[in-house]
Amino acid sequence: MVSVPIPLNGMPRAHLAGIAWMLFTGVCFVAVNAIVRWIGSDLPAAESAFIRFAFGLLFLVAPLRTALRGGFPRPVWGMFLLRGALHVCAVLLWFFAMARITVAEVTAIGFLNPVIVTAGAALFLGERLGWRRMVAIGMALVGAVVVLRPGLRELQAGHLAQLSAACFFGVSYLIAKRLSAVAPASAVVAMMSMTVAIGLAPLAAAVWVPPSAAQVVALAATAMFATLGHYAMTRAFAAAPLTVTQPFVFVQLVWASLLGIAVFHEPLDPWVLVGGGVMIAAVTWITWRESQLRA
């Protein structure tokens, strides 16, 4: 006898599981933001980022060993190194921004990443940029303007750093998309972590400040939560279509806002929520179009 999943409230259980995994993803990523915000500027950004990625490598020893043992052609090594350099810049800017602007602002501006990837895929990878994608990109840019409100308030160095980080992350993900065609996903992730840790090492050594035990434990926790977040996101993508799970990314912004208010005594900025919502709507639209094209 074949058992048929019983929908709950009209939704298949697999979809509910995907939503649950996506909500857990948001919890993990907000935890990463909270820990980095707690450390703030007590440690230099390069040192904090290096310690985080050094601990992250512990979770990737097996795939890293396999990748290095198998080896890669010279052009693939070039892409790995280029991606590592871009990710070093992105991570440094992100750590810098986290110490200077609110958690909600960092989270909202970060929603630009998939939009930058979409635009970059059309510009550099030859993918078709139809009018629907152009509308979605325009919506996302409007959302970013709502979050930043240039001319209505003074933009801080943290805002500009996070915008730059989003661009660097976007280009890094474009290279990852190229690499995924010639290397296993585990190797792409492991090589990125290794190259970033190596790239950050001399920068961290130049500004090294002896960290406290609590700071080391906190940065180890960021590596753990980041790994859990990416795992949960993968489970969410496997359980339900992106069009089901993507809108729940907005909950991450809500949690980040509440965290900033409750823990760091940051003011609630409703325009950040509005702008973030517009960007999430744009990302959801792009995601839906991608799924339609694949179908």
In tens digits, what is the pLDDT along the chain, a chain of 295 residues?
333 344 445 567 877 888 888 889 889 988 998 898 899 888 999 999 999 999 988 888 888 888 888 888 888 999 999 999 999 999 999 999 988 899 899 988 988 887 887 788 777 767 676 777 788 888 888 988 898 888 778 889 999 999 999 999 989 888 888 888 888 877 888 888 899 999 999 999 999 999 999 999 999 999 899 888 878 877 887 787 766 776 777 788 888 888 888 888 888 888 898 988 888 888 777 777 666 666 6
Residue showing tokens 């959302």: 143
286-291 CB contacts, 8 Å cutoff, 24+ apart: 286/114, 286/115, 286/118, 286/133, 286/136, 286/137, 287/114, 287/242, 287/243, 287/246, 288/242, 288/243, 289/130, 289/132, 289/133, 289/136, 290/242, 291/241, 291/242, 291/243
CA torsion, ordered 219, 225, 231, 233, to nearest 10 deg: -120
Residue 7 placed within a domain? no
- Total domains, the chain: 1
Residue 1 placed within a domain? no
What is the per-residue pLDDT for 202? 96
Look up the domain containing 31 and give its range: 13-294
Residue 53 placed within a domain? yes
Residue 58 placed within a domain? yes
Residue 2 placed within a domain? no
Residue showing tokens 């992350």: 169
Residue 156 placed within a domain? yes
39-43 CB contacts, 8 Å cutoff, 24+ apart: 39/99, 39/215, 39/218, 39/219, 40/98, 40/99, 41/99, 41/100, 42/215, 43/209, 43/211, 43/215
Q: What are phi and psi of 49, to 5 degrees?
A: -65, -40
Residue showing tokens 């960021």: 222
Query: Is the distance from CB of 75 to CB of 195 less than 8 angstroms?
Result: no
Residue 6 placed within a domain? no
**CA distances for 10 relative to 18, 20, 200, 225, angstroms:** 15, 16, 49, 32
Strand partners, 44: none
Q: Per the confidence metrics, is the pTM higher than 0.85? A: no
Residue 149 placed within a domain? yes
**Considering only CA atoms, which of 128, 109, 242, 233 is closest in space to residue 169?**
109
**CA distances for 244 relative to 4, 117, 156, 235, 283, angstroms:** 20, 21, 35, 13, 12
DSSP H helical segments within the chain, as ranges?
13-39, 45-58, 61-70, 74-98, 103-110, 113-124, 131-148, 157-179, 185-206, 213-239, 242-245, 250-262, 270-294
What is the per-residue pLDDT for 242? 62
Cα separation, 283 vs 135, in Å, equals: 11
